[in-house]
Amino acid sequence: MQIPIYNPKPQYEALRSELEQAATDLLASGAYVLGPTVEAFEQAVAEHLGCRHAIGVNSGTDALLIALVAAGVEPGDEVVTSPFTFYASAEVISLAGATPRFADIDPDTFNVTAETLEAACTERTKALLPVHIFGQGPDMAAVNELARRRGLQVIEDVAQAFGARQGDARLGTLGDLGAHSFYPTKNLGGFGDGGMITTNNDQLAAQCRLLRLHGQERRDHHTQVGYNSRLDAMQAALLHVKLPHVDGWNAQRREIAALYDRALAGLPGLTTPHTAPHGDHIYHQYTVRIADGRRDAVRDTLQAAGIGCMVYYSVPVHRQPVYEHLQAHCPVAEQACHEVLSLPMWPYMGEERAHQVAEAVRQAVQQA
Ligand SMILES: *Cc1c(COP(=O)(O)O)cnc(C)c1O
């Protein structure tokens, strides 16, 4: 049995002729960076997510960095984020010249909360950078209320939650700016790197557009030091084909999650994921907790059986060598790093494979 943790190929197979047509048309168009293909995709993303502006960039990392700089984050500032995330969420704060501060997470959802964010704020805090980890976000109404009260900008890291809703709105449109990633393994995955910034603020959108293109206001006229962070037209053309399908793929992920939930319910020592009442969970990862120091044994057993489970994340960001000097105290995130295990999760995975995974997990946990 070989069941990978993620497999992008069935999405390609399902849309093969449309994708190949889009690629061929793009090759023939002669316009390969930004231009009308990228503008059309930006428009489609803005409509899909329900916001005024979408700005295509090179990657999710660049989307975060440019959003922070556009929001006015500068050297001397602090930005509060999660320690339980991919390293880039904090790295961009340092790249903007500011200092990351880490807010501990809620043990059930793995997300920061308005309370933990506030506990990490100081008078130097300029912005909050909540990460919608594994496919669900913190209560954004509470995060926005904190931001309003303290005069802070909110930049959402939506890299793992494209299309997830809270109430009537989609994540990435609730804060001041949202940063999305189209890395191939993400819920809307491209065929290479890509990213997108979303906002309802006209001025912030204009600033992001300037920054992604060398601070160039018009030809031969540079008003700022910016970046080379343009979205490739090939990625935009292919992602545009996939965009109408992402809600359906997220629904498939939820069905697999519901199957896992049922099949793993009541297994002693294992905790299935918790869905917060304030919004969708779109299961970028289906992540269980395995208590009592048995996680690594379970992982090894499953991997030996051909089941591609992974530990996201084995080291919290505040414990990375580069940030250890900040001496952040986040015991809940540290505990999570010892217990989490992400199971195979991908659209078109099918019920049979999911049952096989759940059965193997049951056996591995009972043996460990
Ligand atoms: C993937 C990811 C990023 C970075 O996106 P890239 O497109 O790989 O640069 C940032 N934050 C989180 C939470 C991610 O999962």
For residue range 67-78, what is the model confidence (pLDDT) as tens digits? 999 999 999 999
Task: Name, in order, each residue with C-beta under 8 angstroms of 203's C-beta and a sequence gap of 6 or more.
Answer: none
- Beginning with the edge strand found earlier in the chain, give each strand of the sheet holding 53-57 in spatial order: 53-57, 195-199, 177-181, 153-157, 125-129, 78-81, 99-102
Which residue in the list 9, 126, 186, 242 is annotated as catalytic? 186
Mean pLDDT, rounded, of the chain:
97
For residue range 306-354, what is the model confidence (pLDDT) as tens digits? 999 999 999 999 999 999 999 999 999 999 999 999 999 999 999 999 9
Pocket of ligand 1 (CB under 6 A): 59-61, 85-86, 88-89, 131, 157, 159-160, 181, 183, 193, 195
H-state helical runs in 71-190: 88-95, 114-119, 140-150
The answer to whether 11 touches 347, Cβ cutoff 8 Å, is yes
How far does residue 111's CA lie from ligand 1's centre (Å)?
Answer: 16
Tokens 């990978």 label which residue? Answer: 4
For residue range 201-210, what is the model confidence (pLDDT) as tens digits? 999 999 999 9
169 DSSP assignment? E
Look at residue 87 and tell me whether its pLDDT is greater than 90.
yes
For residue range 217-269, what is the model confidence (pLDDT) as tens digits? 999 999 999 999 999 999 999 999 999 999 999 999 999 999 999 999 999 99
Whether the predicted model's global pTM rises above the 0.95 cut: yes
Measured in Å, how far apart are the chain's first and last C-alpha atoms? 20
> Can you tell me the distance from the alpha carbon of 199 to that of 302, in angstroms, rounded to the nearest whole number?
42
252: three-class secondary structure by DSSP: helix
Kindly report the number of other CB atoms within 10 A of residue 357's CB atom: 28
Q: Which ligand 1 atom sits nearest the alpha carbon of residue 186? A: 1
pLDDT computed for residue 247 by the predictor: 98
Task: Name, in order, each residue with C-beta under 8 angstroms of 196's C-beta and a sequence gap of 6 or more.
Answer: 42, 45, 54, 55, 56, 57, 63, 179, 180, 182, 231
How far does residue 259's CA lie from ligand 1's centre (Å)?
Answer: 27
- Smallest Cα–Cα separation from 54: which of 238, 216, 182? 182
Answer yes or no: 9 catalytic.
no
85 DSSP assignment? S
- Smallest Cα–Cα separation from 180: which of 48, 78, 10? 48
How far does residue 247's CA lie from ligand 1's centre (Å)?
Answer: 20
For residue range 288-301, what is the model confidence (pLDDT) as tens digits? 999 999 999 999 99
Task: Name, in order, each residue with C-beta under 8 angstroms of 247's C-beta and a sequence gap of 6 or more.
Answer: 163
Task: Name, in order, each residue with C-beta under 8 angstroms of 225's C-beta and a sequence gap of 6 or more.
Answer: 215
The answer to whether 299 touches 309, Cβ cutoff 8 Å, is yes
pLDDT computed for residue 13 by the predictor: 98
Percent of the chain with pLDDT over 70: 100
Mean pLDDT of 1-15: 96
* Pair type for strands 78-81 and 99-102: parallel
* 212: confidence class by pLDDT, cuts 50, 70, 90: very high
Q: In terms of C-beta distances under 8 Å and separation of at least 24 residues, what long-range contacts does 332-335 make, across chains too?
A: 332/104, 332/105, 332/106, 332/107, 333/82, 333/83, 333/84, 333/102, 333/104, 333/105, 335/107
Kindly report the number of other CB atoms within 10 A of residue 286's CB atom: 27
Domains of the chain: 9-244 (3.40.640.10), 246-367 (3.90.1150.10)
What does the longest C-alpha to C-alpha distance in the chain come to? 67
| Ligand 1 mutation target, pool 57, 156, 160, 187, most atoms within 8 A of CB | 160
E strands, 118-245, are 125-129, 153-157, 165-166, 169-170, 177-181, 195-199, 216-218, 221-222
How far does residue 88's CA lie from ligand 1's centre (Å)?
Answer: 6
Pull the structure tokens for residue 201. Answer: 């603020």
* 129: confidence class by pLDDT, cuts 50, 70, 90: very high
Task: Name, in order, each residue with C-beta under 8 angstroms of 85's C-beta and a sequence gap of 6 or more.
Answer: 131, 133, 157, 313, 317
For residue range 150-160, what is the model confidence (pLDDT) as tens digits? 999 999 999 99
Q: Which ligand 1 atom sits nearest the alpha carbon of residue 61? A: 9
For residue range 299-313, what is the model confidence (pLDDT) as tens digits? 999 999 999 999 999
Look at residue 1 and tell me whether its pLDDT is greater than 90.
no
The residue whose CA has the least distance to atom 1 of ligand 1 is 159
Look at residue 368 and tell me whether its pLDDT is greater than 90.
no
Find how far residue 313's CA is from the centre of its chain.
14
Mean pLDDT of 113-133: 98
254 DSSP assignment? H
- Smallest Cα–Cα separation from 194: which of 230, 162, 158, 227? 230
